[in-house]
Amino acid sequence: MDILFYIIAGAAVGFAVGLTGVGGGSLMTPILLLFGFPPQIAVGTDLLYASITKSGGVFLHKRQGTIRWKIVITLFCGSIPASLVTIYFLNSIFTDSEQYGEILTTSLGFMLILTALVLLFKSQLVNRSKAKDDSEALKTVQKHATAITWVMGVALGVLVTLSSVGAGAFGAAVLLIIYPRMSAISIIGTDLAHAVPLTLVAGLGHLYLGNVDFYLLGSLLIGSLPAIYVGTKLGTRMPENLMQPILASTLLALGVKYAFF
């Protein structure tokens, strides 16, 4: 009967992703932990789950021309090596995957808190990016945008590999701050084009470490793929301010739990 619960969990997360646009990692990994899966299995399986479920969106944005490939490549130059180095250290320093479970759980909590804050202050971030701001801080960021993008790529590479969270809402918020003149649709497309390969590389790294449960992965995909479609259809008809505050509060509570308790 376990497979039924996994399919239902996949459907619930897929529906929420379609409805709110929030990345599945923010929801799936905490659910898997609540199901009793070890942190390393939850993170590793969710990374491959994320890369598969988000891949269709990349092709759509590529066809629409809403991906800024120069930015994606700059992020790649930081995130992919950082992800591989993180996997290398996990494999080299620890003799057993259970030994770094607490590191993954704490990283998850930290990223859930950041994601929740992004959701809670999303409108302020968007309004700030649309406003004409000639401050020295903005000029400095724009002047060094490429270097800052690379540094953020490194940070995302490490954090996504450790937590499976951050390649979605948090990644988009980072782009919004660094490139305030970029359109919303290009932010989403560029973030997605970076997130899918990053989660795939990190997921394959965890597969190498033995942290992927394929039985679980298949069950989650069976439930989530059709649910994402249904949630997306309903999401276009629902006010954004209805679901996101509830979701953000839930993620914040889970983040505090995993980071500090």
Predicted confidence at residue 183, as pLDDT, reads 83
Confidence check: pLDDT of 36 > 60: yes
Q: Mean pLDDT score of the chain, rounded to an integer? A: 84
Per the CB < 8 A criterion, the answer to whether 35 and 220 are in contact is no
CB 251 within 8 A of CB 259: no
pLDDT in tens, 212-226: 999 999 999 998 888
Place of tokens 């759509």: 60
What is the pLDDT at residue 126? 63
Q: Judge whether residue 159 has pLDDT over 80.
A: yes
With a CB cutoff of 8 Å and minimum separation 6, the contacts of 70 are none
Q: 134 pLDDT exceeds 90? A: no
User: What pLDDT does 228 receive?
Assistant: 77
Exposure string of 129-143, with b = 16+ CB inside 10 Å and e = fewer, is beeeeeeeeeeeeee
- C-beta atoms surrounding 102 within 10 Å: 11
Considering the chain, what percentage of its residues have pLDDT values greater than 90? 35
Lowest mean per-residue pLDDT among 67-71, 118-122, 193-197, 198-202: 118-122
Is residue 132 very low, low, confident or very high in pLDDT (cuts 50, 70, 90)?
low
Look up residue 110 and give its two tokens. 């930290």
Q: What is the model's pTM?
A: 0.87
Q: Give the integer Cα–Cα distance in Å for 252 and 111.
A: 10
Separation of CA 9 from chain center: 18
- Work out the pLDDT band at 125, boundaries 50, 70, 90: low
CB 112 within 8 A of CB 251: yes
Q: Which domain holds residue 184?
A: 2-260
Torsion angle (degrees, nearest 10) of CA 7, 12, 16, 18: 40
Helix, strand, coil tally for the chain in percent (to 5): 85, 0, 15
The amino acid at residue 11 is: A
* pLDDT digit string, tens, across residues 240-260: 566 667 777 878 888 888 888
Specify whether the CB–CB gap between 108 and 165 falls below 8 A.
yes
More confident residue, 45 or 144: 45
pLDDT higher than threshold 70 for residue 45: yes
CB 105 within 8 A of CB 33: yes
Over residues 56-70, the mean pLDDT reads 86
Instruction: Give me the mean pLDDT over the 185-195 stretch.
Output: 87
Supply the pLDDT for residue 139.
Answer: 66
Contact 81, 157 (CB under 8 A): yes
Q: What's the domain count of the chain?
A: 1
